[in-house]
Amino acid sequence: MLLAGASLFRSAAFSCRPFPTALGASGSCRSAQRWYASSIDTSLYDASQLAMMEEMCILVDFDDNVIGQDTKKNVHVIDDVCMLPGGPPHRAFSVFLFNERWELLVQKRCADKILFPQHWANTCCSHPLADGATFLGTPIHGEADGPSGTIQAARRKLAQELGISPEAVPTESFQFLTKVHYKAPLPGHAPKWGEHEVDYILLCQRPHAAIEAALNLNPNEVMDVRWLSQEEAVEFVDGSADFAPAGQAARHEELISPWFGTIARELLHPWWSALKRGETLEPDGKIHRLAGAKEAMVVHAGAR
């Protein structure tokens, strides 16, 4: 259950197949040796991050029905079927962790990350894994089970990225609220990677002191964390180059991840205001089509 100052800034040590995948009859990706394998220079990337690119993500259709699985690498490569128009998204989650003052904990992804390095994002953003997959050698079961599975995955990743143990964020402290569908390439010329996700939005509120005591940043994942009030979050996102309102110049040089920026601009603040007023939020049963989603669905017969 959600519980009804000065912002904290914390730094971590800075460590800084010949055919494309095809769509099967069910819409899932068939395993195939990727044509792009030789086009990506893996020597450019951190070994630990590369190893995690072999995790098995959950493929879904545009209505979030499970249709298969594929590696984290394959579902994010810009020229693979999952990133092409009409290609299937994969399932993800985004945690928004608040303290009792309704300040939001945000993180800056480390420079070693393959996907959106050095971008600020919400508290934790990652993927539930397919049943029978492994994470750092541990078998995974149950994370494909809708909202409850994504909460299980969120507790796993909060520990691995931020040092926040599952005991500090019990299952009952999470609330699943809604889903968002978005698609975004990495910035820059001719990007090799991108995101195409159906993202489960998970809210959580825990005592500030408990989270502060638990925080132990993994430098291979997170550079910094910061607590933001709602007003500070508006200023931070609107002040970035990618999300500044039309006609306004950027006010800082920090990078904002596309999912966090878009969710913050389009959905977050009515929820945040309602929580501050002590209102109860219920799952809305929707998949919100955010930036890139409708374009991703262009060849899908049921696009809407």
Write down the catalytic residue from 29, 124, 125, 204. 125
- What is the total count of domains within the chain? 1
Q: Is residue 3 part of a domain?
A: no
Strand 66-71 and strand 56-60: the pairing is: antiparallel
Q: Is residue 164 part of a domain?
A: yes
- Residue, of 269 and 16, whose pLDDT is higher: 269
Q: Is residue 231 part of a domain?
A: yes
Q: Is residue 2 part of a domain?
A: no
* Structural domain for 234, as ranges: 17-296
- Residue, of 21 and 273, whose pLDDT is higher: 273
pLDDT tens-place string over residues 98-150: 999 999 999 999 999 999 999 999 999 999 999 999 999 999 999 999 999 99
Write down the catalytic residue from 124, 197, 204, 221. 197
Q: d(Cα 127, Cα 125) in Å, to the nearest integer?
A: 7
pLDDT at residue 46, rounded to an integer: 83
Centre a 10 Å sphere on the Cβ of residue 179 and count the other Cβ atoms it contains.
24
pLDDT band at 39 (very low <50, low <70, confident <90, very high): low
Query: What CATH number is associated with residue 186?
Result: 3.90.79.10
- pLDDT of 253 strictly over 60: yes
Centre a 10 Å sphere on the Cβ of residue 38 and count the other Cβ atoms it contains.
8
pLDDT band at 1 (very low <50, low <70, confident <90, very high): very low
pLDDT band at 52 (very low <50, low <70, confident <90, very high): confident
- pLDDT of 212 strictly over 70: yes
- pLDDT of 5 strictly over 60: no
Q: Is residue 219 part of a domain?
A: yes
Q: Is residue 10 part of a domain?
A: no
- CA-nearest of 108, 65, 52, 90 to 224 is 108
Mean pLDDT of 42-69: 91
Q: Is residue 65 part of a domain?
A: yes
pLDDT at residue 15, rounded to an integer: 27
Mean pLDDT of 30-56: 68
Could you confirm whether 197 is annotated as catalytic? yes
Centre a 10 Å sphere on the Cβ of residue 218 and count the other Cβ atoms it contains.
16
pLDDT at residue 299, rounded to an integer: 67
- Residue, of 41 and 86, whose pLDDT is higher: 86
Tokens for 45?
């990337």
Centre a 10 Å sphere on the Cβ of residue 265 and count the other Cβ atoms it contains.
17
pTM greater than the 0.85 cutoff: yes
- CA-nearest of 175, 198, 195 to 187 is 195
- N- to C-terminal Cα distance for the chain? 34
Q: Is residue 5 part of a domain?
A: no
